[in-house]
Amino acid sequence: MTDIGSWYDETLYDNFRQGLRVDRELHREKTAHQDLIIFENSRFGRVLALDGVIQTTEGDEYVYHEMLVHMPVLGHGQATDVLIVGGGDGGALREALRHASVERAVLAEIDESVIGLCREHLPNHSAGAFDDARAEIVIADGAAFVAETERRFDVICIDSTDPAGPGEVLFSEDFYGGCKRCLKPGGVLVTQNGVPAMQGAEVTNSHQRLGAHFADVAFYLAPVPTYAGGFMAFGWASDDAAARQTPLETLEARYAAAGIETRYYNAEIHRAAFALPNDVRALLG
């Protein structure tokens, strides 16, 4: 049990330190796959950390989840079937199911404990999404799921941990090939790819590995404060380059037709997010 008022120090990097004060510890356990803690912080609300790394907070999760989901769904324009790999906190599932056009959202999560504990302690993340009739929860290794399933999807969102432990395989070329197999023609894959200023190799490696399978590979950025070190990168991969180049007016019309309200995402952000600074461009080789 963490002492109240102590600091939770993230251990993602050996040369950079981020700490969040623990105002109240809600739960801690070693699941079948990872060390998990959920606690409250007066600035960011409830916080989930796995294996010493901050995964999500109530205070800034909306930026991450909106950009992970609405970018591909609205870029695609006709997505009815969505797959989320990882995402046991339910935030990505929540955002996907805000689209009435989505008829089915499958969430493949390796650690069932994460789902149960987040439903209990972070209910605002899922906001009832786990109980939506369009949601299907599959407890499975994401890499095995995409390698074996016969289902096909318009959009796949990889809501993974960092490339270590259970999340490592979700950055492999074989995994990306499995995702390609599961996409319908014109489908879009998006991945979380870390903070380029701190984890540049993730962007470089994913660019190469995605490029082995997809005709159009790009990255876009969004600021998530508790993913420390600067803007976070998301990978984008499709065989349909037009999906990434959707005109602003079309995105605005799709957003309006969806009838959703977002705190961060909008059509102008969608277009601008693909503009990369030179240091990130350099990571693409």
**Distances in Å between the alpha carbon of 285 and those of 128, 194, 264?**
43, 17, 30
Amino acid residing at 121? H
Catalytic residue among 60, 81, 159, 162: 159
Helix or strand run (H / E) with residue 47: strand 45-50
Distance CA 84, CA 89 (A): 11
Upper half-sphere CA count for residue 1 (Cβ side, 13 Å) = 6
Sign of CA dihedral 126, 93, 91, 74: negative
Parallel/antiparallel/unpaired status of strands 135-139 and 104-109: parallel
| Bridge partners (DSSP) listed for residue 192 | 234
**Active site includes 131?**
no
The identity of residue 264, as a single letter, is Y
Active site residues: 159
